[in-house]
């Protein structure tokens, strides 16, 4: 059954509009996934995550759906669709479920899951999406979103993360100022730290990155809570952005432990 929506006052449309904000996503328990590649992959690999499809005149789904899929279909006027299709994909949008994110708490060595846990404070949802895609690609065991980080299910985040969002092991964590880790050595990324290419990187470890712009707070850099690592760069360049630094660090960690 397809629901026709031609008015901005339609209650379904109002819900769709609310999903463009973190607050609306949290309240609705769903989010909007966009992009032809992401939509196709989700329908193919994660159909159980899909609750609805949004189309418009001239914008119809060109793949067959399993008859067993109980998916609501909403057909919007083109102008209303454009309000929801904020990235201008001109391809059907999916309404997908969001998963409850548990709270992380510090643990002892015996409880630390094998591998690396990253602690991320990024406030830009696009950076969160890029981080998710990278973390999943490198097989990260846990992503701890520090207090104040953007919602990973924000439409801007999920647009970048794609289907990696359904594979990401999320937890909510404390404020970066309050971060304390006892289950494994904690490393941080800082321009003044030890060259990561020369540092010893254990298999079990925590890795914290700073905020976009301000970087790491003093309690992380100067308190001895972490060991600082830097990404080697050419002379005259002060730093790279936090997302790029994280990608470099995760690549180096995985190269050490999985390519021997």
Q: How many CB atoms lie within 10 A of CB 170?
A: 18
- Indicate the domain borders of the chain: 2-97, 109-258
Give the chain's largest Cα–Cα span. 62
What's the pLDDT score for residue 213?
64
Q: Residue 228 and residue 153: Cα distance in Å, rounded? A: 30
Indicate the CATH number for domain 109-258: 3.40.1280.10
State how far Cα 239 lies from the chain centre.
23
pTM above 0.95, yes or no: no
Instruction: Classify domain 2-97 at the CATH superfamily level.
Output: Ribosomal protein L30/S12 (3.30.1330.30)
What's the pLDDT score for residue 192?
79
Q: Residue 163 and residue 174: Cα distance in Å, rounded? A: 27
- How many C-alpha atoms does 115 have within 13 Å on its Cβ side? 15
Which residues of the chain fall below pLDDT 70? 1, 66-69, 212-225, 236-239, 259-260
Question: Could you read off the pLDDT of 153-201 as tens digits, one per residue?
Answer: 999 999 999 999 999 999 999 998 888 888 999 998 887 788 999 999 9
Contacts of 85 (CB under 8 A, 6+ apart): 34, 93
Give start and end residues of each alpha helix (H) in 106-238: 125-137, 155-161, 218-221
Beta strands in the chain (DSSP E): 2-5, 30-33, 50-55, 72-76, 93-97, 116-120, 142-145, 170-172, 186-195, 205-208, 227-230
The answer to whether 230 touches 191, Cβ cutoff 8 Å, is: yes
Among residues of the chain, what percentage have pLDDT more than 70?
90
Q: Residue 40 and residue 122: Cα distance in Å, rounded? A: 28
Q: Residue 234 and residue 223: Cα distance in Å, rounded? A: 28
Please tell me if the domain spanning 2-97 has the same topology as the one spanning 109-258: no
């Amino acid at each position: 059954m397809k629901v026709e929506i031609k008015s901005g006052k339609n209650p379904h449309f109002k819900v769709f509009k609310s999903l463009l904000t973190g607050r609306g996503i949290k309240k609705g328990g769903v989010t909007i996934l966009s992009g032809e590649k992401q939509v196709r992959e989700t329908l193919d690999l994660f159909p159980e995550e899909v609750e609805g499809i949004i189309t418009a005149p001239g914008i119809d789904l060109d793949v067959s759906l399993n008859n067993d899929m109980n998916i609501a279909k909403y057909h919007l006027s083109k102008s209303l669709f454009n309000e929801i299709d904020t990235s201008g994909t001109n391809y059907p949008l999916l309404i997908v479920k969001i998963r409850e994110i548990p709270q992380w708490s510090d643990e002892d060595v015996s409880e630390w899951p094998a591998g690396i846990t990253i602690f991320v404070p990024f406030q830009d949802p696009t950076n969160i999406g890029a981080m998710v895609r990278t973390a999943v690609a490198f097989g990260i065991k846990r992503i701890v979103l520090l207090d104040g980080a953007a919602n990973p299910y924000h439409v801007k985040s999920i647009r970048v993360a794609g289907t990696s969002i359904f594979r990401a092991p999320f937890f909510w964590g404390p404020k970066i100022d309050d971060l304390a880790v006892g289950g494994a050595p904690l490393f941080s990324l800082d321009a003044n730290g030890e060259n990561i290419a020369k540092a010893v990187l254990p298999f079990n470890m925590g890795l914290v990155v700073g905020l976009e712009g301000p970087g790491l707070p003093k309690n992380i850099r100067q308190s001895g809570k972490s060991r600082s690592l830097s990404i080697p760069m050419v002379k005259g360049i002060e730093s790279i952005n936090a997302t790029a630094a994280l990608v470099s660090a995760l690549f180096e960690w995985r190269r050490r432990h999985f390519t021997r």
